[in-house]
Chains A and B, each alone.
Chain A
Amino acid sequence: MSWVSKTLNSTLGKKLIMALTGIFLILFLVVHLAGNLQLILPDDGKSFNVYAETMASNPLIRIVSILNFGFILLHAVYAAILTRHNKKSRPIGYAVSKASENSSWSSRSMGILGTLILIFLLVHLRGFWYELKFGEVPIVTYDGVSYKDTFAIVSAAYQNIFYVIFYVVSMGVLAFHLAHGFSSAFQTLGINHKKYTPFIKKLGLAFAIIVPALFALIPIIMFIQGS
């Protein structure tokens, strides 16, 4: 076995992959959120549509988006491998367990939280990415240039109250995943310092609350605007 695969196949190496892909996904969330927030600008979707078109035609963004799919897949596959390995290490559980005395609920529920995020992602991709790529998309024209009316697809989807609820609940799930995941990734990378770790923990908690909350706000606002 080469030293690279030996390292990445160790329990520490597998976690390194989780942490690196997780941090990439965190950065992706920020960029994605910045784009999405344009949905609620009061310009009938113009800036969002222009932005969506620019993103879709930029070759660099296309590479990043392929990487993003790859990293989500890698993160999910290693989540499954680790969960299986960990279950094998503790095949028989305890009759009485007071785990809440020593650890947070989100830290103990990363597997189930991640699975729920994966389900959300599949629904999300089917509804928007697939629709835009392979479905029928209306066209709008701004200053003589025609654009795909991505905004119309999104605002139509957010008129469905069940979809809005599913979206908001999923962002709650993401919040709990990040509440542990953000700071956990730093620990996995070996970053633990008396000066910085308390700050990283606070930053992680703030990120876990603010980012999913802003994501969830968008469908709520669009639902209210549409009805």
Chain B
Amino acid sequence: MNLTLKVWRQKNPSDKGGFKDYTLSGISSDMSFLEMLDVLNEDLSEKGDDPVHFDHDCREGICGMCSLYINGQPHGPTQTTTCQLHMRSFKDGDTITIEPWRASSFPIIKDLVVDRSSFDRIIQSGGYVSVNTGGVPDANEIPIPKIIADEAFDSATCIGCGACVAACKNASAMLFVSAKISQLALLPQGKVEKRGRAEKMVAQMDDEGFGACTNTGACSAECPKGIDLSNIARMNREYFAASLSTEEH
């Protein structure tokens, strides 16, 4: 395949940045999107140019490190991570525009790499169980209905990639935060602290400057793990209930 890439290049956080065009030839449709970028970077390195910086780690769709806004969609045209996106999703002769996640809470570090530590700070504010829950309990020692277990598991599949923020017109982090609140609120070990957790995590999310939710559903439609909007409704319930019932004021 022959391709034209329009890639966002930005030297450092304060640089204005801009698009740069590159042409690539001989790309196999079996390559992953990141392998295609590896080819580009090899070309650039051989020429002595600065390679394009982009985030990646596991390259198997489980770590949440890869990002990229590809042709107007986070992680490109298929609902998966960029590392699991393959060049067969594109046609020979295509022009592909690659941009970084855009959100004031995800400042650009360099080129396509953004700083997602705001997510880490939200988790640190309450996305954990404070007491040691011990080893693996015997199966069925704590009865948990299958539907609840499944729902908690679905919420727990969030890999913290930030595609929800990137897709949302408000750069809202509701889908991520609600998945993290839900996975713990649904299970006995996490339930104990669910009220305070909802309050603390929402407060941190707001402090980080993420947008509000207009319920457009763009986040869920673009989420590589298909995290459901019902998580956001649960977060709203938990937060309002917490605010009405906790004794701190």
Contacts and interface: CB of A to CB of B under 8 A. Distances in A.
Contact of A88 (B209, B222, B248): B209
27 contacts: A3-B248, A7-B239, A10-B202, A10-B203, A12-B212, A12-B213, A86-B211, A86-B212, A89-B171, A90-B103, A90-B211, A91-B104, A94-B99, A94-B102, A95-B6, A95-B99, A96-B69, A96-B71, A99-B169, A107-B215, A108-B169, A183-B215, A187-B215, A187-B229, A192-B232, A192-B233, A192-B234
A207 to B, nearest CB: 16
Contacts of A191: 233
A89 B104 contact: yes
Interface in B195-226: 202-203, 205-206, 209-218, 221-222
Contacts of B103: 89-90
A197 B232 CA distance: 14
A92 interface: yes
Interface string A184-216: 100111111110010000000000000000000
A104 interface: yes
Given A90-B171, A190-B234, A192-B233, A82 B72 contact: no
B22 interface: no
Given A95-B19, A95-B99, A187-B215, A101 B236 contact: no
Contacts of B97: 95-96
A160 interface: no
**B interface, over-half SS:** mixed
Contacts of B236: 12, 15-16, 187-190
Nearest to B209: A89
Nearest to A184: B215
Nearest to A7: B243
A122 to B, nearest CB: 24
A116 to B, nearest CB: 17
Interface of A: 2-3, 6-7, 10-16, 82, 85-86, 88-99, 101-104, 107-108, 110, 180, 183-184, 187-194, 197
Interface in B26-69: 69
Given A89-B171, A94-B69, A94-B99, A16 B240 contact: yes
B104 A102 contact: no
Contacts of B203: 10
A183 B99 CA distance: 33
Contacts of B240: 7, 12, 16, 190
Contact of A96 (B72, B206, B233, B243): B72
Nearest to A189: B236
Given A11-B213, A103-B217, A89 B170 contact: yes
B249 A2 contact: yes
B11 to A, nearest CB: 16
A108 B216 contact: yes
Contacts of B73: 98, 101-102
A102 B170 contact: no
Nearest to B169: A108
A101 B171 contact: no
Nearest to B170: A86
A13 B212 CA distance: 10
Contacts of A98: 71-73
Contact of A188 (B69, B169, B210, B215): B215
Contact of B172 (A7, A89, A184, A197): A89
